[in-house]
Amino acid sequence: MKLKNKRIIITGGTSGIGLEMVKILNTYNEIIVISKSEKKLKRLTMKFEGVITYQTDLSNLSDVENTCDAIKQRFESIDILINNAAIQNTPTFLSKDFDYSGIAKEITINFTSVCSLCYLLMPLLLNSQNATILNVNSGLGLTAKTSSAIYCGTKGALNLFSQSLRYQLEHTNIKVRQAFLDLVDTDMTRGRGKNKMSAESAANLIIRGIEHDVIDQDIGKVKFLRPMLSLMPWLAKSIMKKH
123: domain range?
7-241
In this model, does residue 191 exceed pLDDT 70?
no
DSSP collapsed to 3 states, the chain: CCCCCCEEEEECCCCHHHHHHHHHHHHHCEEEEEECCHHHHHHHHHHCCCCEEEECCCCCHHHHHHHHHHHHHHCCCCCEEEECCCCCCCCCCCCCCCCCCHHHHHHHHHHHHHHHHHHHCHHHHHCCCCEEEEEEEEHHHCCCCCCCHHHHHHHHHHHHHHHHHHHHCCCCCEEEEEEEECCEECHHHCCCCCCCEEHHHHHHHHHHHHHCCCCEEECCCHHHHHHHHHHCHHHHHHHHHCC
The per-residue pLDDT for 96 is 95
- Give me the number of domains the chain comprises: 1
Q: How far apart are CA 46 and CA 40, in angstroms?
A: 10
The per-residue pLDDT for 2 is 82
Q: Of 13-17, 156-160, 233-237, where does mean pLDDT reach its minimum?
A: 233-237
On whether residue 75 sits in a domain, the answer given is yes
Give the HSE-up count for residue 205: Cα atoms under 13 Å, Cβ half-sphere: 20
Give the HSE-up count for residue 118: Cα atoms under 13 Å, Cβ half-sphere: 25
On whether residue 84 sits in a domain, the answer given is yes
The per-residue pLDDT for 194 is 67
Work out the pLDDT band at 193, boundaries 50, 70, 90.
low
Average pLDDT over residues 48-74: 98
In this model, does residue 136 exceed pLDDT 80?
yes
Asked if 15 and 54 count as a contact pair (C-beta separation under 8 A), the reply is no
On whether residue 64 sits in a domain, the answer given is yes
On whether residue 89 sits in a domain, the answer given is yes
Write down the pTM of the prediction: 0.94
Phi, psi of 218 (to 5 degrees): -95, 120
On whether residue 1 sits in a domain, the answer given is no
In this model, does residue 35 exceed pLDDT 80?
yes
Q: How far apart are CA 116 and CA 118, in angstroms?
A: 5
Phi, psi of 209 (to 5 degrees): -65, -40
Nearest by Cα to 201 from 177, 179, 184: 184
- Cα 96 to its chain centre, rounded Å, is 29
The per-residue pLDDT for 150 is 98
Q: How far apart are CA 155 and CA 1, in angstroms?
A: 27
What CATH number is associated with residue 112? Answer: 3.40.50.720
Nearest by Cα to 137 from 230, 225, 61, 14: 225
